[in-house]
Amino acid sequence: MAMEPDEKYLCKRILERFLRYVRTETTSDRHSAEIPSTSCQWDLLHLLERELKDLGLDMVELTDKGYLIARLESNITEGNTPPAIGFIAHVDTSQDAPGKNVNPKVIENYDLKPIALEGGQRLDPQEFSDLKNYRGETIITSDGNTLLGADDKAGIAEIITALEWLKGHTSINHGPVEVIFTPDEETGKGLEAFPLNKLKSKYCYTIDGGGLGIIESECFFAYKVEVNFKGISYHLGEARGKLVNAVSMAGCFVNMLPRSESPEATDGKFGYYCPIEIKGDMETAYTEIYLRDFKLPEIERRIETIKNIASTVESLYPGGKVELNFKKQYSNMKAILDTVPEVISNLEQAVEKAGLKPEHKSIRGGTDGARLSEMGIPTPNVFNGGYNYHSRLEWASLFAMGKASRTIINLIQIWAEKADTA
């Protein structure tokens, strides 16, 4: 049996939770080797653990590495049990903007005028055109001194509110539903200690970003190349025919990367090379290069090109050596998601049932979902109603947050209905 959630009520509950969560500092630190990378993340994890326990879920566990996992078991007693599905959000916020003492501003009945923030900053719909979609709706911003933290506390508030609704409507059939809140997504280390064995979920959804109706099922294939240059140093006054300068070799190498395939020259489905670091002296030098593309053959072509550039530099600098070390970082999750098309088709239906048009976007980066997909749990990303991430101009639309929560409820019902008719 299907039942329509009251979106006004969902929004009220989401807002209460969201304002509480964003006031709790959770900035992560990419230079820390600990998981969680900062102790402040525990404050929100403990708060969420209490809230999940108060909801009366069947299992709530907070691991010693800061992964919070909760489960609502299936209430279906006859026929097929739907597969367990999980909803993921991260507790940390990016260190790219301050995240302490967040002071959220709630603007009701938004009139499409520029929103003034402290420090002379403005959220102007002329510049940030997504604002134009929300005339008369509620907009939430920071005061301008910090980020807001919709990335990803909007996702957390939407997931918990969806579960609360489900607990209050016991006539709705559902399979096992899991909630997974993770630390350190922003540092890229969020899944390094992930307790995969504690999950029952066959499929997951990250609720982590993007505007109204956006589905992200594709990301880059990512490799990095560490390049070590070995030169031969010599007294500069007597260097002719003897000195092999590693600084020059590194400069030559980076200069040979095609400029038309750099991040600053590409968008959409085009991949790139990007040198992200260079250092050294005449004897040894080092550079690190990112290779990114949506297609694996294009990554393989770039790997070959890097090898060709290395041998060219060696022949231009006789006596010098170039050593390459390729490391795979993450894969495009599309290939894995394509093997279970219902993960996306059910999501598309859930978005439509929330009254929205699903819009597919490709992530020019990676997600925890990409890592989890590689670990065997196909995990696309779903919008959460937040915009302008990692900045003091971050904002969220309560209308879109309500739609995200409704999409979660719809998804749970759609998976249950499909199992029933399977």
Beta strands per DSSP E along 331-376: 359-363
**384: CB partners within 8 A, 6+ apart:** 89, 150, 151, 152, 154, 155, 158, 207, 208, 209, 210, 400, 401, 404
Q: Which two tokens stand for residue 233?
A: 């140093």
Site for Zn ion in 258-287 (CB under 5 A): none
Among the listed residues 151, 164, 184, 185, the single catalytic one is 185
- Cβ–Cβ contacts within 10 Å for residue 241, how many? 8
**Between 83 and 210, whose beta carbon lies closer to Zn ion?**
210
Q: With CA atoms as reference, report the closest residue to 150 among 132, 135, 138, 136.
A: 138
Q: Which two tokens stand for residue 150?
A: 């919709």
Please state the φ and ψ torsions of residue 332, each to the nearest 5 degrees.
Answer: -65, 120
Site for Zn ion in 12-31 (CB under 5 A): none
Q: With CA atoms as reference, report the closest residue to 418 among 82, 19, 135.
A: 82
Strands, sheet with 177-182, edge to edge from the N-terminal-most edge strand: 59-62, 68-72, 177-182, 85-90, 203-207, 381-382, 214-219, 359-363
164 lies in the site for Zn ion, by CB under 5 A: no
Query: Rounded to an integer, what distance in angstroms lies between the CA atom of residue 47 and that of residue 44?
Result: 5
Query: Rounded to an integer, what distance in angstroms lies between the CA atom of residue 138 and that of residue 401?
Result: 10
Q: Kindly state the smallest distance separating residue 3's Cβ from Zn ion, in Å.
A: 31
**Between 89 and 299, whose beta carbon lies closer to Zn ion?**
89
Q: Kindly state the smallest distance separating residue 303's Cβ from Zn ion, in Å.
A: 29
208 lies in the site for Zn ion, by CB under 5 A: yes
Q: With CA atoms as reference, report the closest residue to 379 among 218, 221, 234.
A: 218
394 lies in the site for Zn ion, by CB under 5 A: no
How big is the chain by its Cα radius of gyration, in Å?
A: 24
| Region of 23-31, 151-159, 378-386, 397-405 interacting with Zn ion (CB under 5 A) | 151-159
**Between 313 and 393, whose beta carbon lies closer to Zn ion?**
393
Q: Kindly state the smallest distance separating residue 185's Cβ from Zn ion, in Å.
A: 6
* Total binding residues toward Zn ion, as defined by CB under 5 A: 3
Q: Is 267 a catalytic residue?
A: no
Among 151, 158, 184, 293, indicate the residue that binds Zn ion (CB under 5 A). 151
**Between 84 and 88, whose beta carbon lies closer to Zn ion?**
88
Residue 177 φ/ψ region, left for φ over 0, alpha for ψ in the -120 to 50 degree band, beta for the rest: beta
Q: With CA atoms as reference, report the closest residue to 405 among 161, 41, 90, 131.
A: 161
Among the listed residues 25, 51, 92, 158, the single catalytic one is 92
216 lies in the site for Zn ion, by CB under 5 A: no
Q: How many CA atoms lie within 13 A of 367 on its CB side?
A: 30
| Region of 6-14, 114-122, 200-208, 284-292 interacting with Zn ion (CB under 5 A) | 200-208
152 lies in the site for Zn ion, by CB under 5 A: yes
| Region of 107-115, 202-210, 298-306, 355-363 interacting with Zn ion (CB under 5 A) | 202-210
Query: Rounded to an integer, what distance in angstroms lies between the CA atom of residue 273 and that of residue 129?
Result: 30
**Between 83 and 366, whose beta carbon lies closer to Zn ion?**
366
| Region of 138-146, 208-216, 287-295, 319-327 interacting with Zn ion (CB under 5 A) | 208-216
Q: Is 185 a catalytic residue?
A: yes
**Between 387 and 415, whose beta carbon lies closer to Zn ion?**
387
| Region of 29-37, 145-153, 215-223, 262-270 interacting with Zn ion (CB under 5 A) | 145-153
What string marks each residue from 36 to 75 as x (binds Zn ion by CB under 5 A) or -? Answer: ----------------------------------------
**Between 82 and 104, whose beta carbon lies closer to Zn ion?**
104
Name the residues that contact Zn ion, by CB under 5 A: 151-152, 208
Catalytic residues: 92, 185
